[in-house]
Amino acid sequence: MTVAEIFETLDYGPAPEAAAIADAWLEARGRRTALFIANAWQAPSDGGYFDSINPATARPLAKIAQATTADVNNAVAAARAAQSAWAKIGGPARARTLYALARMVQKHARLFAVLETMDNGKPIRETRDIDVPLVARHFYHHAGWAQLIAREFPGHEPLGVVGQIIPWNFPLLMLAWKVAPALAAGNTVVLKPAEFTSLTAILFADLCLDAGLPPGVVNIVTGDGRTGEAIVAHPGIDKIAFTGSTEVGRLIRAATAGSGKALTLELGGKSPFVVFDDADLDGAVEGVVDAIWFNQGQVCCAGSRLLVQESIADTFIAKLKARMQTLRVGDPLDKSMDIGAIVAPVQLEKIETLVKAGTAAGATLWQPDWARPKDGYFYPPTLLTDVGPASTAVQEEIFGPVLVALPFRTPADAIALANNSRYGLAASVWTENINLALDIAPALKSGVVWINSTNLFDAAAGFGGYRESGFGREGGREGMYAYLKPTFLKGLKSYDRSAPALAAPVPAGVTSATTELDRTPKMYIGGKQTRPDSGYSRPVYAADGSLAGEVGDGNRKDVRDAVVAARQAEGWSKATAHNRAQVIYYIAENLEARATEFRDRIRAMTGASKRVATREVAASIDRLFTYGAWADKYDGRVHATPLRNVTVAMNEPLGVMGIVCPDDAPLLGLISLAVPPLAMGNRIVAVPSAKHPLAATDLYQVLDTSDVPGGSFNIVTGDADSLAAVLAAHDDVDAVWDFGSNDGGAAVERASAGNMKQTWVSDRRRRDWFDPEQAEGEAFLRHCTQVKNIWVPYGE
Ligand code: NAI
Distance, in Å, from the CA atom of 167 to the CA atom of 510, rounded to the nearest integer, reads 59
Q: What is the pLDDT of residue 226?
A: 98
Ligand 1 pocket, residue 195 CB under 6 Å? yes
- Residue 444 CA to ligand 1 centre (angstroms): 26
> Which residue among 221, 243, 245 is best mutated to probe the pocket of ligand 1, counting the most ligand atoms within 8 A of its Cβ?
245
What is the amino acid identity at position 600? D
**What pLDDT, in 10s, does the model give residues 324-371?**
999 999 999 999 999 999 999 999 999 999 999 999 999 999 999 988
Among the residues of 507-576, which ranges form H helices?
556-568, 570-574
Q: Is the CB of 363 under 6 A from ligand 1?
A: no
- Could you give the dihedral angle defined by the CA atoms of residues 706, 709, 710 and 714, in that order, rounded to the nearest 10 degrees? -70
For this structure, is 266 an active site residue? Answer: yes
What integer pLDDT is reported at residue 381 of this predicted model? Answer: 98
pLDDT at 743: 73
Task: Indicate if ligand 1 lies below 6 Å from the C-beta of 474.
Answer: no
Low-confidence ranges of the chain (pLDDT < 70): 496-519
What pLDDT does residue 795 have? 85
Task: Give me the pLDDT at residue 500, please.
Answer: 54
Sequence-distant (≥ 6) Cβ neighbours of residue 576 within 8 angstroms: 632
Q: In the chain, what's the furthest Cα-to-Cα distance? A: 105
User: 501 φ, ψ to 5°?
Assistant: -65, 155
The answer to whether the CB of 475 falls within 8 A of the CB of 456 is no
**Pair 226, 196: CB distance under 8 Å:** no
- What single-letter amino acid sits at 312? I
470 ligand 1 Cβ < 6 A: no
Q: How far is the CA of 164 from the centre of ligand 1 (A)?
A: 12
Q: Is the CB of 248 under 6 A from ligand 1?
A: yes
Question: Choosing from 157, 195, 229, 266, which is the catalytic residue?
Answer: 266
pLDDT given at position 513: 42
How many Å lie between the centroid of ligand 1 and the Cα of residue 145?
Answer: 29
Torsion of the alpha carbons at 596, 602, 603 and 604, rounded to the nearest 10 = 110
The pLDDT assigned to 784 comes to: 98
d(C-alpha 239, C-alpha 187), whole Å: 10
Other Cβ atoms less than 10 A from the Cβ of 311: the count is 13
Return the pLDDT at 460.
95
Please name the amino acid found at residue 45. Answer: S
The DSSP line for 171-220 is HHHHHHHHHHHHHHTT-EEEEE--TT--HHHHHHHHHHHHTTPPTTSEEE
> In whole angstroms, how far apart are CA 583 and each of 92, 137, 369, 546, 714?
45, 44, 63, 36, 15
The answer to whether 396 is a known catalytic residue is no
Ligand 1 atom index nearest CA of 399: 34
Report the C-alpha dihedral over residues 245, 249, 250, 256, rounded to 10 degrees. Answer: 160
Beta bridge partners of 263: 240
The answer to whether the CB of 249 is under 6 A from ligand 1 is: no
Q: How many angstroms separate the alpha carbon of residue 265 from the centre of ligand 1?
A: 11
First to last CA, the chain: 40
What was the pLDDT predicted at 491? 93
Check if 251 has its Cβ closer than 6 Å to any atom of ligand 1: yes
Q: How close is the Cα of 228 to the center of ligand 1, in Å?
A: 10
- At 599-649, the pLDDT tens digits run 999 999 999 999 999 999 999 999 999 999 999 999 999 998 988 899 999
Phi-psi region of 727 (alpha: psi -120 to 50; beta: other; left: phi over 0): alpha
Return the bridge partners of 507, or none. 536
For residue 694, the model assigns a pLDDT of 93
For ligand 1, atom 29, the nearest C-alpha belongs to 245
pLDDT at 206: 96
pLDDT at residue number 675: 98
Cα–Cα distance between 727 and 751 in angstroms, integer? 9
